[in-house]
Structure 1
Amino acid sequence: MDRVFIELCENYRIDRVTSALEKIFEGMGGIGSIVKPGMRVAIKPNLLMPKKPDDAATTHPAVVQAIAGLVQKAGGLVSIVESPGGPYNVSSLKRIYTATGMEEAADETGAQLNFDLRVERIDNPDALIVKSLKILKPLRDADLIINVAKLKTHRLMVYTGAVKNMFGAIPGLEKADYHLRLDQYDKFADCLIDIYLATRPQINIIDSIIGMEGEGPSSGVPKYLGVLIGSKNGFAADLAALSLINVDYRQVPVLKRAEERKLIQPEQVIFEGVDIATVRCEDFDVPALVSPSGMRLSGRLLSAVEKIFRPKPEIRHEKCISCGKCAEVCPPKTIRKGDDKKMIIDYSKCISCFCCHEFCPEKAVRIRKNIARRILEYRRTSGGEG
């Protein structure tokens, strides 16, 4: 049995967040049973890009601060470790830490912000696709990883939470290589699962006090949910988060593939704490739940159908400031600046990974759907299978 603990948390006041987290850790046997004196504990938040905490695109600093305080109380040595989107360097990390409130959280607790840029290649024997990978050395060296995700929608993978958050263990622009090589939904889902299995966070917390709906993971709308979710099993934590926002887990590639790989048995997951039915959000806006990857096709035909149905990114030039961030993070390098200084997408090479949409600081990239896609696609605003 996998246990998930769901606790009410009305806002980000540090006392409220700490109280809810204490209850979650008590359900796991108490923080003292997890963290031992002198243990090196890496907190891995979601710091997608330099966004303010109120934008709901990143893990809220109050959650990180509260976890750091509890770990330190148990005698642990805390570091905050993340590789956000884009280049992995000291200047980028400083900008991210400041904008997202992590610098302040570190100042309040004495936790160490990571600036160690070393990586380590590891073998991954439990993997299906990613048998060997490079991860951040500070995560590799930690005695304990606490994975602190943010509940958000995701244009490519429908939802992002605990399992997908460990994609941030991959250094900088090396993430783009995975997007480029694994451009089918299920294959990329298997990649994310493999990375989660390689990094093996022992504790998974999902910041779902305020989540993001709509055009996530960076351009959506904050949505109040009022709970924190915790589990030793990231797949189980994600299952609870999807139940909270009333989405069938089988519509989410990562959870669908995890069940097929027998990494999660939903009927064996127990939700404890607050009754999730009493806090469930019935109208959480989740675009792009319908995908041709669910069709029973194979080989070249499946690839052809996916290319036809896949939406494409489109640059809104009235909002674009030509900063070049989209070109920087584009895996197939299909975006460039034209003679008129406007950004241009070469759709013949576009793999619809939506990295440009995900990392645009001006929300100047939207998702364009063809007619067939618009007919078949719907927005999830209620439960069940649609």
Structure 2
Amino acid sequence: MERFELIAPCHFGLEAVMKREILDLGYEVSQVEDGRVTFIGDAEAVCRANIFLRTTERILLKVGSFKAETFEELFQGTRVIPWEQYIPRDGKFWVAKASSIKSRLFSPSDIQSIMKKAMVERMKGAYGITWFPEDGASYPLRVFLYKDVVTVAMDTSGDSLHKRGYRTLTSKAPITETLAAALLMLTPWKPDRILVDPFCGSGTFPIEAAMMAANMAPGMNREFLAEEWKNLIPKKCWYEAMDEANDLVKDDISVDIQGYDIDGEIVRAARANAAAAGVDHLIHFQQRPVSQLSHPKKYGFLITNPPYGERIEDKKNLPELYKTIGERFVALDSWSAYIITAYEDTERYFGRKADKNRKIYNGMMKTYFYQFMGPKPPSRNPGRQNG
């Protein structure tokens, strides 16, 4: 089976998590750059990566790379790519997105139109036709220019992979599913430990944790654009990858995962999302303010995305809010806390300096992932990862 170079974009600052996921799936990583990891795989890998990877935004199939400092070089470089090996004569093709960093060519619309013309020129010669109906499967391209090097890739996913298919109802400032999964993977949390999100919003952290605990692949309940690429990926590969995902689900596990929110309507939405994900039986949701946060058990994990004052009028409430979170955390004997926020005074009002602090870009917003480590539990299982 033909091998491809596949690109998995991710949040800036979470490349190591993405790399580990790809290696765990059994593929060879060829390059790690800011915000993306490139790996080698065949048609089966396209299916498995889309269905199983929790932290990538999409899976891109790389078709070419070349240097271009002028639009003429962009045209010629694009025309050299053997498009007929990827796109059938009835395929619908266009440059869906072009981004440029530190490059002489920087106008996305010009890059898009010139590359489309070059693709048409190439395929006219290859197929011996002058007009393309474009009424078949879709083959959208994503193009990155960095220091005048053009990387061209086809998008196999379609809708971003953070759209798992379960979150129909959202809170005001939801964290994406891919980011929530990556942050959970940065912690030593395991399904035999308690997990509480006191600002659960639409339920993303608890739901992603429950799916991980039950070994449910994140892409089980959605479709992917490349399912229509019968010229490149046999339908059998999709069926086999989905069968593998279904066989791995452990639905009868017992976990203690809880989500609280002060807004009862939001809690109802979180329950509905958990039901859509098939994990509502694994999570306890409750309407509860953070001031009432408590738990009788030891060695639990607090992981949350609290408000951080997106609006000016909310900012005045933040010192008191973060002070309350810190006080409730002190009362949770031997717990660990993991907080993602853009609020720069978090440690000051939380009342403790973080053991680790990781800078992560959530879209264009700079956020911090504060990690307050508790003691590890007495080991029933020697060699287990520290908590």
TM-score after normalising by structure 1: 0.29
Which is bigger in relative contact order (C-alpha 8 A, separation at least 6)? 1
TM-score after normalising by structure 2: 0.29
